[in-house]
């Protein structure tokens, strides 16, 4: 492709190559598991590794690009900034002009200010849009010619993992752009995996209630800001292409689809046009998901493809998700920074926040605030649970504004020295992401808020830590615990935390916790005792955090016995009262 024809994601790939952030893989590779295995290894490298361009893919004429956004440097380049802090500052500069309280107000302001008046989508004015240089309809459509990845060994098939899914409300309004995976069923149908809380599902239910067929268009590959915008948790009714235009500093050029009444980015590599029937569902999954586990098979709508359009020489774009850190972690960090100023416009007491990627986007947040009145932390926690994607957050900890929320060592120290379980814990129920497998029932479950701020006038004092054991693990203590609970594989003391890996067998977690507490009665109790399955390395802090954020239901798995707090981060079984299937952890070794 000539330089003049280079546009969209191919321009971004060229920028990455020129800056030394891209590896071309010229050997023949298989889109079934091999590309994913190589991508997984690269994404786990220091700093996220390199972007990858697989030039020769078995059974397909199209190259495959992966890990394009898998570093702080690359995701910053995608947004046209030098760092994510600069992206945050660019949003904050606008919020300070008139303090908009929502993204709708933010974009209304942005469109009024030159040169930002040009951020809205604009119709492509040329003769043939790049994404429609080749048009296939009817029997010519064959999705199996695309190098769609099978990502993990137990996946149900091949999945489009970086799709830009365009839908619109039944009765008019801005288009919606989301990212919902597509399982390839055959040459012209796929699954449409939009979760119940997503905008695409909301609009689908509008069409279903009206018994009307829903038009859908899916772009694969577009400009880097558009791909990011598809992942951003914007409020319903806000056109995600405005966010893409804001970072691109110009409006996204769109073109009308050939067979459905939707607009797609003119520089997309591929476009799948089609529809979803209101009453047609098909089993979709399992799929190796961003939680690091297989999401279970379930019934989702079917996407019928009526046209496949593309560039003459397109690049197929894909992402691989799984146990952190991976490419989606860096996209999530961009969202964390970009949305902070908007969150602060609603909660001005917030100084900063941090969402550890072990919490896989939605499971954990640590927030620093300027505390002003009694129970301020609890008020903020409740408020955050009512805000957009923060409503999925299973655990929120609040610290004072002189504490860096990203300093996990400082947070651990506050838990060790200051945390009082009865005083500082707020456990409630609310919605959960459909991928949360730890709750006894899907879509809803327990949440925990933790107040780690310093007490002020009007707040009860904390119970002191007198009598707790913060010392090393003595051999006598170790022997007593080993004799009390069979199946302990390893144990380690780390300050206030006693960490154990063990074989669960058929025992309930609470049974094991009670036995440990009774055995430890002869010693000063540990403040925290955390249980992990026997295959967990209890010296790997990141792995333990990932397990705790994913496997713990706060109302069932966090228990105080005496002065000790016990946390069960193991796989749950019916013995624990957990009757839902427990998903398998992802691995390329199956």
List active site positions.
Answer: 289
Which tokens hold the place of 119?
């951020």
Identify the CA nearest to 273 among candidates 297, 257, 292, 288: 257
Closest by CA position to 186, among listed 302, 62, 316:
302
Phi/psi of residue 19, nearest 5 degrees: -95, 10
Contacts of 506 (CB under 8 A, 6+ apart): 573, 575
CA distances from 490 to 498, 535, 539 (A): 11, 10, 10
SS3 500: strand
And the tokens for 67? 């890990």
Cβ atoms of residues 54 and 64 within 8 Å? yes
* Distance set, CA 388 to CA 199, 233, 339, 346, 466 (Å): 12, 7, 11, 12, 41
Contact 356, 438 (CB under 8 A): no
Cβ atoms within 10 Å, residue 27 = 9
Burial environment of residue 343 by CB neighbours within 10 A (0 to 12, 13 to 18, 19 or more): middle
End-to-end CA distance of the chain: 40
Which residue's structure tokens are 């520089």?
A: 267
CB atoms under 10 Å from CB of 461, counted, come to 8
Cα–Cα separations (whole angstroms), residue 541 to 44, 47, 161, 290, 548: 16, 18, 29, 19, 10
- Going from the C-alpha of 45 to that of each of 68, 71, 326, 327, 521, the distances in angstroms are 14, 10, 10, 11, 44
If we measure between CA atoms, which residue out of 161, 182, 153 comes closest to residue 34? 153
d(CA 388, CA 261): 29
Query: Which of 468, 467, 451, 448 is closest to 459 using CA atoms?
Result: 451
Which one, of 375, 197, 217, 394, lies nearest residue 291 by Cα?
Answer: 394
Rounded Cα distance between 70 and 54, Å, is 16
Tokens representing 585 are 């952890």
- 159 in Cβ contact with 184 (< 8 Å): yes
C-alpha–C-alpha distance, residues 232 and 121, integer Å: 17
Contacts of 142 (CB under 8 A, 6+ apart): 136, 187, 188, 308
């Amino acid at each position: 492709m000539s330089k003049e024809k280079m546009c969209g994601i191919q321009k971004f790939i060229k920028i990455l190559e020129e800056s030394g952030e891209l590896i071309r893989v010229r050997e023949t590779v298989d889109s079934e598991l091999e590309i994913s295995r190589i991508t997984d290894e690269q994404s786990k490298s220091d700093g996220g590794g390199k972007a990858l361009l697989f030039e020769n893919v078995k059974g397909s004429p199209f190259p495959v690009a992966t890990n394009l956004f898998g570093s702080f440097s690359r995701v910053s380049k995608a947004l046209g900034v030098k760092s994510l802090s600069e992206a945050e500052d660019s949003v904050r500069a606008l919020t300070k002009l008139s303090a908009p309280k929502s993204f709708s107000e933010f974009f209304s302001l942005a469109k009024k200010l030159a040169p930002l008046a040009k951020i809205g989508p604009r119709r492509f004015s040329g003769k043939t849009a790049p994404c429609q240089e080749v048009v296939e309809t009817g029997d010519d459509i064959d999705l199996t010619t695309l190098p769609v990845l099978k990502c993990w060994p137990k996946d149900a098939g091949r999945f489009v993992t970086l799709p830009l899914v365009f839908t619109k409300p039944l009765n008019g309004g801005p288009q919606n752009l989301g990212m919902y995976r597509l399982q390839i069923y055959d040459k012209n149908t796929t699954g449409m995996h939009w979760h119940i809380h997503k905008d695409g599902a909301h609009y689908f239910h509008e069409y279903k209630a009206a018994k009307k067929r829903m038009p859908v268009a899916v772009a694969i590959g577009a400009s880097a800001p558009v791909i990011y915008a598809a992942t951003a948790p914007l409020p319903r009714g806000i056109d995600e292409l405005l966010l893409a235009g804001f970072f691109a500093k110009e409006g996204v050029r769109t073109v009308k689809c050939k067979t459905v009444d939707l607009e797609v980015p003119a520089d997309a590599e591929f476009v799948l046009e089609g529809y979803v029937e209101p009453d047609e569902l098909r089993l979709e999954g399992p799929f190796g998901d961003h939680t690091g586990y297989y999401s279970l098979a379930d019934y989702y709508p079917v996407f019928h493809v009526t046209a496949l359009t593309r560039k003459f020489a397109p690049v197929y774009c894909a992402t691989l998700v799984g146990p952190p850190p991976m490419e989606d972690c860096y996209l999530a960090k961009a969202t964390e920074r970009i949305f902070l100023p908007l969150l602060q416009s609603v909660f001005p007491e917030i100084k900063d926040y941090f969402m550890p990627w072990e919490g896989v986007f939605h499971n954990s947040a640590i927030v620093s605030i300027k505390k002003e009145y009694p129970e301020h932390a609890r008020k903020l926690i409740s408020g955050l649970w009512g805000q957009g994607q923060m409503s999925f957050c299973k655990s929120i900890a609040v610290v004072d504004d002189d504490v860096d929320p990203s300093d996990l060592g400082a947070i651990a120290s506050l838990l060790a020295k200051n945390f009082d379980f009865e005083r500082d814990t707020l456990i409630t129920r609310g919605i959960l992401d459909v991928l949360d497998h730890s709750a006894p029932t899907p879509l809803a479950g327990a949440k925990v808020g933790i107040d780690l701020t310093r007490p002020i006038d009007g707040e009860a004092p904390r119970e002191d830590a007198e009598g707790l054991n913060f010392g090393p693990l003595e051999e006598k203590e170790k022997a007593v615990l080993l004799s009390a609970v069979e199946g302990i594989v390893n144990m380690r003391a780390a300050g206030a935390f006693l960490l154990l890996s063990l074989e669960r067998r058929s025992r309930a977690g609470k049974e094991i916790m009670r036995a440990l507490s009774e055995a430890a009665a002869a010693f000063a109790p540990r403040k925290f005792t955390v249980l992990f399955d026997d295959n967990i390395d209890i010296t790997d802090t990141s792995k333990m955090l990932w397990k705790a954020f994913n496997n713990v239901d706060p109302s069932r798995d966090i228990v105080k016995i005496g002065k000790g707090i016990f946390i069960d981060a193991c796989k749950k079984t019916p013995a624990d009262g957990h009757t839902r299937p427990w998903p398998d952890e992802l691995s390329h070794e199956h």
